[in-house]
Amino acid sequence: MDGGNSPPGFPHPHPTDSYSQLPPHAIATHRTTPQLPTSTTFDSRAPPPRAPRAATTAPAARDGGLRFKRHHDAFGEDEALRLERMEEEAVRDITAAFVRAHAVDCDVRDVETAEVVLAGAEWAAALAVQRFRDEVQQRRPGVRARMPLDVRHGADARAYMGVPYIVGAVTYPAHTQNPYRLVCRMLELSLTRGLNLQTNTLATKIGKAGAGWEVETDRGTVRARRVVLATNGYINALHAGLAASKFLVPTRSQIAAIRPGKTIDGNPGLRRSISVEDMATGDYFMSRPPGIKGEGDVLYGGGKNLSETGERNTTDDSVVHADIANYLKHAAVGVFEREQWGDERPCGQRLDWHCGVHA
């Protein structure tokens, strides 16, 4: 696809088609009122208008504890513990409390997630992080996460994961879902409570206006007492202070949906969500579980090191990086080996490419 024109740092009006967003949801282009409201209050009667383009996805987070030391060094012990607990509770609350309470049709399934390591030195470092995490949590039982971690070594890890050459794996319980359908359902429920949803409306500037705020958009200006910035990788274009802090760096990620090889069926690795922690390409993958759309498709992401910029500081998700796309098409063969993966099926490997922007 061609990139087209869009202001630097802002969402592109024509992003790549997403595997999880086809077909588009009924509210993808919804506007509660034909005209953009000029003012709003932040309460249940008239929530602020939102959505810079079509109703879209929310990112998924994963962390089996290997990031704990980085969080600890960057933000301190208290914040590292809070972050880990927050991520755990967010997954539990969204899946158990919200999705099941509201019977949201978003393909929620329980799945075991794994972070696997290929090299001995990196595995030793990962184990050191685990020991450090355990020591901190034993000292701080009141705020520690409750997610159980299972550590497997050597041949046991390889047999359990079905991935050759790994020297270790950390596994933990998680969930898979379609975030697009989850977010759209949240918006539907919010509409019944008075939300004024304005999709395809680009916020271009946010600034103080007396005791409140003004949000300039490509369709007019909205005034509000409060504004919630939930734009993730696009936030730097709206808030100069956050941009100057360099706390959030927009990064483009690319994912391919591929068909598995002829002989990989039944491999335990395809029953899990896996990230290969010490691959320079940052690979991660999972297979779509039985009973949902795309059953058996392998969603494979990574390859950022093939970009000169590492795909950092870009918000243009209307284009596919050709080198990364070619890598993702065949990367699973390198992880599982050709003998296990098998030859391509008659329908071919490539199904879909998708780019996304996050921070």
Averaged pLDDT, groups of 10, the chain, 359 residues long: 54 84 90 87 38 43 63 89 84 80 89 93 92 87 75 97 96 88 92 92 90 92 90 84 85 90 92 92 91 90 93 88 92 92 67 64
- Give residues with Cβ within 8 angstroms of 24, minimum separation 6: 54
Q: Are strands 298-301 and 251-258 parallel, antiparallel or unpaired?
A: antiparallel
pTM of the full structure: 0.85
Q: Is the separation of the CB atoms in 97 and 160 below 8 Å?
A: no
The pLDDT value recorded for residue 223 is 92
Starting at the edge strand found earlier in the chain, the sheet holding 39-40 runs: 39-40, 220-224, 212-217, 203-209
* 90 alpha carbon, distance to own chain's centre: 14
pLDDT of residue 7: 59
Residue 149: predicted pLDDT: 86
